[in-house]
Chains A and B, each alone.
Chain A
Amino acid sequence: MITKVTHMCVYVLNQDSAYDFYVNKLGFKVHTDVPMGPDSRWLTVTPPEQPELEITLFPVKEGNMFDAETVGTMTDLVKKGTFGAAVFTCEDLMATYEELKGKGVEFKKAPTKEFYGYEALFKDDSGNWFSLSQLDTEK
């Protein structure tokens, strides 16, 4: 029986910039940041109140995993916002929206009433988009 998700991956175009975005703008915590040889780094962050879920900030770069052609394709797809990576929740969407917007986070959708609560959509520094929701049951 599968019990939990422990790791999920977000493909990012630059790990340093992703670190700044996820830690300093979104307020996520660094879980693991370990160099893997001279050119690689294993970097995971966790949502502030969910320390058991590691979000791996996976760089799109040429190496064992991606050849040059795949890097080109992935970079284009990530940049143009093809990938929706996750749904986050918060206590109060409008307060979180105001704070993140003030920190320069780009929103594709302002807080909007949905049948389950409120939802907004924002993009990370690479182009991945996320849903940010406030569920009716949370207020």
Chain B
Amino acid sequence: METEQYPKLYLYRRIVQAKLFIDRHYAEPIDLAQIADEACFSRFHFSRLFKSAYGKTPHHYLTKVRLDNAQRLLAQGVAVTQVCFSVGFDSSTSFAALFKKHFGVSPSAYQARQLEKRSSFAANPLRAVPNCFAETHGWKKSNIR
């Protein structure tokens, strides 16, 4: 059934492997052309199939994975410059520009907002929870700290 519906299953497997490679190695300098070569695709064919499966070219997907991980590290309080290099960007200027283009806010402003949210939740965890859930659980300011 599966192979009748998806006669090119082996192609899917190669594309999935390429995606997983990006997920694992996004922080390193990744040569997307090399991934296409290793998967035995022409670069154009690889890019087209990848986009068909994931809605983004391999390059755009790699950028997105790096930016998503940058968000995660910024929310943990890691310094902006350190975040930039540890997710695989090699220029803090282009990192800041891409981040703002993607999320509509600069890395430092995003970090400030996340850290403020975190300290607000630490001061009063009930701020994180819709009241109906807090009441159902019996969570009150007096018994959750």
* Chain A residues close to B by CB (< 8 Å): 6-7, 29, 32, 34-37, 40, 42, 48, 56, 63-65, 91-92, 94-95, 98-99, 102, 110-113, 118, 139
Contacts and interface: CB of A to CB of B under 8 A. Distances in A.
Secondary structure call for the B interface: helix
Contacts of B2: 110-111
A68 B2 CA distance: 44
Interface in B1-35: 1-2, 5-6, 9, 12-13, 15-16, 19-20
Interface in B116-142: 121, 125, 128-130, 133, 136-139
A98 B144 contact: no
Contacts of B125: 34-36, 42
Secondary structure call for the A interface: mixed
Nearest to B137: A64
Interface residues of B, number: 30
Contact of B130 (A7, A40, A65, A110): A7
6 contacts: A32-B128, A34-B128, A92-B54, A98-B13, A112-B1, A118-B5
Nearest to A7: B130
Given A7-B130, A63-B138, A37 B68 contact: no
A113 B5 contact: yes
Contacts of B20: 99, 102
A102 B17 CA distance: 10
